[in-house]
Amino acid sequence: MQTKRWNMQKEQPNHQAIQEAAELLKNGETVAFPTETVYGLGANAADSRAVSKIFKAKGRPEDNPLIAHVATKEQLSKLVSILPDIAKTLLDTFTPGPLTVVLPSNGVCASNVTAGLSTIGVRIPEHPVAQELLKTCELPIAAPSANISGKPSPTTADHVWADLQGKIAGLVDGGPTGVGVESTVVDCSQDIPVVLRPGGITKEQLEEAVGTVMVDPALANTSDNPKSPGMKYTHYAPEVPMWLVAGMPKNIQVIIDRERDSQKRIGVMASTETADQLQADRIIPLGSDLREIASRLYNALRIFKNGDVDLILCETFPQTDIGLAVMNRLEKAATAYVDH
Ligand code: TXA
Ligand code: MG
């Protein structure tokens, strides 16, 4: 399949190109597009044949449900059987934006979107290109991250191209995404909201808006059965093994030196401050605060290639604010955890 690619600026969606992309979606094809978190691979959520093309292109396990994307709250309310007050408050406060709410489905979306669950994840993205595309096609669009399953999520159109070119009908290039980690998934189908996946909206922000918010215990303990089915699969994996290393820069340097002594070439991912204090074969500074680190994380994971380095060492970060999402992704990407 030839993948059609359109280029545009984030703030200036190209109406003609968006129209063409929307036509493909209406015809049951797959189109990748930018959101403020990561690029998504979209298809008509009401059309099970279109949705099955997403699973095929990504190599995604079929028991992992997809998020339905819409432009407005009014459209969102047409996909769920109830909209509890807490969910309304969360939507009013944080959307359009990097939040997904899980609610009882009313069956409008195809059953392969929800992987047969009675609930559906729904989200209103903020990115102007995503907004324009959703408004133009007037459909709920099922869209997981637009990467091959298991690989880091795409934060640029080139990441999508590298993974899915030839396997999807279209790619709308709207430049690099902003937040860099996926939306926060919050189960609002029970009385107390539960964070199933940490993301762009922090637990602290959620609690300020609606009071008590729980975090799925499976996030802390990988042996539990996670409620968000996607959390049980290998995710975000770079090409080479990655160790998460806790401790001060000088402790990290000890490990770098030890591994280099056994002829390994070492890549490092760390905050800019830590990176400045280390010596290795390749060092990627991620930035000076947690927001910046989140926005550069997936690109860094994709930079390290087989043949360039044999092992990546990545610093650990505080699990506050968006650091919770950053550490959640790093723990899934890592092959080992080294503590002192
Ligand atoms: O930021 C994002 O959320 C991006 C952009 C493209 O919107 N999308 C994204 O989709 O990350 P995906 O498919 O890569 O991740 C969706 C997550 C998975 O962990 C999935 O298991 C969970 O949301 N999920 C979806 N529907 C669910 C449901 N009904 N109940 C529980 N978890 C659900
Ligand atoms: Mg994903």
Rounded average pLDDT per 10-residue block, the chain, 340 residues: 97 97 98 98 98 98 96 98 98 98 98 97 98 98 97 98 98 98 97 96 97 91 55 78 96 97 97 98 98 98 94 97 96 89
Q: If you take atom 10 of ligand 1, which residue's CA is the nearest one?
A: 144
- Tell which atom from ligand 1 comes closest to the C-alpha of 231: 19
Instruction: Please give the angle made by the CA atoms of 277, 283 and 289, to the nearest 5 degrees.
Output: 70
> How high is the pLDDT of residue 277?
98
> How high is the pLDDT of residue 223?
46
> Is the separation of the CB atoms in 250 and 267 below 8 Å?
no
Q: Ligand 1 pocket, 65 CB below 6 A?
A: yes
Q: Ligand 1 pocket, 149 CB below 6 A?
A: no
- Tell which atom from ligand 1 comes closest to the C-alpha of 114: 29
> Is the separation of the CB atoms in 176 and 155 below 8 Å?
yes
> How high is the pLDDT of residue 47?
98
287 Cα: distance to centroid of ligand 2 (angstroms): 23
Among candidate residues 326, 281, 286, 328, the one with its CA nearest the CA of residue 305: 281
263 Cα: distance to centroid of ligand 1 (angstroms): 40
> How high is the pLDDT of residue 230?
57
Q: If you take atom 20 of ligand 1, which residue's CA is the nearest one?
A: 230
147 Cα: distance to centroid of ligand 2 (angstroms): 7
For residue 89, the surrounding DSSP H or E stretch is helix 85-94
Residues at Cβ < 5 Å from ligand 2 ion = 145
Q: If you take atom 32 of ligand 1, which residue's CA is the nearest one?
A: 228
Residue whose CB lies within 8 A of the most ligand 1 atoms, among 35, 182, 195, 219, for a mutation test:
182
Q: Ligand 1 pocket, 160 CB below 6 A?
A: no
Question: C-alpha 268: how far from its chain's center?
Answer: 22
> How high is the pLDDT of residue 229?
60
Beta strands in the chain (DSSP E): 4-7, 31-33, 40-44, 67-69, 99-104, 119-123, 141-142, 170-173, 184-187, 194-197, 214-215, 242-245, 266-270, 282-285, 311-315, 336-338
Q: Ligand 1 pocket, 182 CB below 6 A?
A: yes
Q: Ligand 1 pocket, 114 CB below 6 A?
A: yes
